[in-house]
Amino acid sequence: MSHIIAIVQARMSSTRLPGKLLMPIGKHPALYHTVKRSEAAGYPVVLAIPYHDWPLVQFAKDHGIPFYQGPLNNVLARYAEAAETFEADIIIRITGDCPFVDPVIIQQVVQHVEDGVPFASNVWPWRTYPQGLDVEAFTIDLLRQAHREATSPYDREHVCPFMHGIASKVECVRQAKDLSYHRWTLDTPADYQFFQTLAAWLSFEPPHPTTAEVLALLEREPELLAINQETAHYPR
C-alpha cells in the first residue's frame, strides 16, 4: 500500500500580506483551517517551512503537526526533502493560504495517482474550481526527477510546472460548472476581508464550512464576491 502524505507549504514572508498564515479567521489562524481541512481527507499532513520561520515552527509544535524546514525560495527542494524524510510514495501539494481546501477534492485527485497516473491536479491544464481549492498530487519518482533536473528559479519556487513537462501522463479533475472566477485564497488585504466577512456568516470550526455551504452563501449574497474581485486574477 502506498504511503500518502499531504505537504502544506507555508511561509511568513508574503509580500502582499506578511504573516497572513497566522492571521485569525474566526477563532483560529488561517493555517489551522488549511491543515485541519487537509487532515479531513484522511492523510497525514506535514508542514514544509522555511529555515528561520520560527513563528510557524512554534505553530506546528503547539498543534502537534509534523514539519520539515528547508530553503525559502527553493520550494521544490523543500518538498523533495520533506517527502524523503517522511518516506512518502505519493505526495499531495497544498499551499497554506488555502483555508477552504476541500478534503473531497483532495481524495479525488489522489485517487488518480493511486490508479497509476504520475501527476494529477484540479488546476492544470484546466481550472474549473475556485482559486484556493488547489490540489496537486504526484509520485515520489516524479518529484525526485524534478528535483534532480529542474534548474530555473521559477521551477524551483513553484514546484509543479517542471513536472507538467516530464510526466508521462497528467490527469485533471474538473467539474461541469466553471467557478474559476471565485477567489478563495488568502494573499491580499481584500482576501482577508473576504474571509473575515464569511466568518461572520458561517461556522469556521473545522472542517466547516464545506464547499457547498460557501457556494450556497455566495449564491444568496453575491455581493460578497465583490470584496476581493479586483485581485481575482493575481498570480499566486
**24-65 pLDDT, tens per residue?**
999 999 999 999 999 999 999 999 999 999 999 999 999 999
**155-166 pLDDT, tens per residue?**
999 999 999 999
**183-200 pLDDT, tens per residue?**
999 999 999 999 999 999
* CA gap 230, 137 in Å, rounded: 30
- Residue whose C-alpha cell reads 477552504 in the numeric block: 100
* Residue 89 C-beta-side C-alpha neighbours within 13 Å: 10
C-alpha distance from residue 110 to each of 42, 66, 119, 208 (Å) = 11, 21, 9, 21
Question: 50 has which bridge partners?
Answer: 70
* CA gap 60, 82 in Å, rounded: 15
CATH architecture, range 4-180: Alpha-Beta Complex (3.90)
- Residue whose C-alpha cell reads 482577508 in the numeric block: 192
Strands 136-139 and 90-95: antiparallel
pTM for this predicted structure: 0.95
- Domain regions of the chain by residue span: 4-180
Contacts of 25 (CB under 8 A, 6+ apart): 33, 99, 195, 196, 199, 204
